[in-house]
Amino acid sequence: MSNDSTDRTIQGGIWTLKQEYDIDNIINKHELLSDYMTALIEVAAADGVLSEAERRWVIGLACAIGSPKTVIDELQTYQPKGMAGVLKTFHAESGHSNGIHRQLSLIYDGFRAAGADGELHPKEVEAINELAKALQVNEATVKQLYELYKENQQNRLNRLKIIFPNGGNNAIAEVKKLY
């Protein structure tokens, strides 16, 4: 394997897609990735504020799944426009690939993106519910995804407390002192 950054990006994307979604192949279609990620930004901005943490989370996900540089560049400067465009793109009859095959991951990732700033605002949850309704995802499934999101957030905190009882940044600082 070469040290080429594109190759590393693709390999990282393949690993992340398998680890997070049990998907074996990278999806490298600009439009599909851009639509998915901008939908996450719109959900995260539904409370009237797109925090830096929320934008970084969406860009991080895009990078982690091997999105092309053009998508990453677009997300760096994307300004939220409201949910209307998302709902026009993602609805049950749109025929959009993400709306047909990835609607549940879009809702789950919506919770993750919107909560990346440490707060899942009621307007963000409302936007996720609006998206779910457009995609014809029933309320029970949305509730199940929300509970899974909360459980995973708590598990992450518990894991970090055990692995890094003094905090991850403190551990890194101590390691740096040794080298």
Would you state the pLDDT for residue 21? 83
Would you state the pLDDT for residue 123? 98
Confidence of residue 1 (pLDDT cuts 50, 70, 90): very low
**CB 127 within 8 Å of CB 83:** yes
pLDDT (tens digit per residue) in 9-35: 888 888 888 888 888 877 777 888 899
| Cα-trace Rg, the chain | 17
- For residue 171, give every residue at least 6 positions away whose Cβ sits within 8 Å of its Cβ, in sequence order, or none: 164
- Which residue type, as a one-letter code, is found at position 49? V
Would you state the pLDDT for residue 95? 66
- Which residue type, as a one-letter code, is found at position 20? E
Name which of 14-18, 82-86, 91-95, 109-113 the model is least confident about.
91-95
In SS3 terms, 9-54 reads as: HHHHHHHHHHHHHCCCCCCCCHHHHHHHHHHHHHHHCCCCCCCHHH
| Residue 129 predicted with pLDDT over 60 | yes
| Residue 154 predicted with pLDDT over 60 | yes
Q: How far is Cα 33 from Cα 98, in angstroms, rounded to an integer? A: 9
pLDDT (tens digit per residue) in 163-176: 999 988 888 888 88
> Which whole number is the average pLDDT over 111-133?
97
Would you state the pLDDT for residue 30? 82
Place of tokens 């390999």: 11
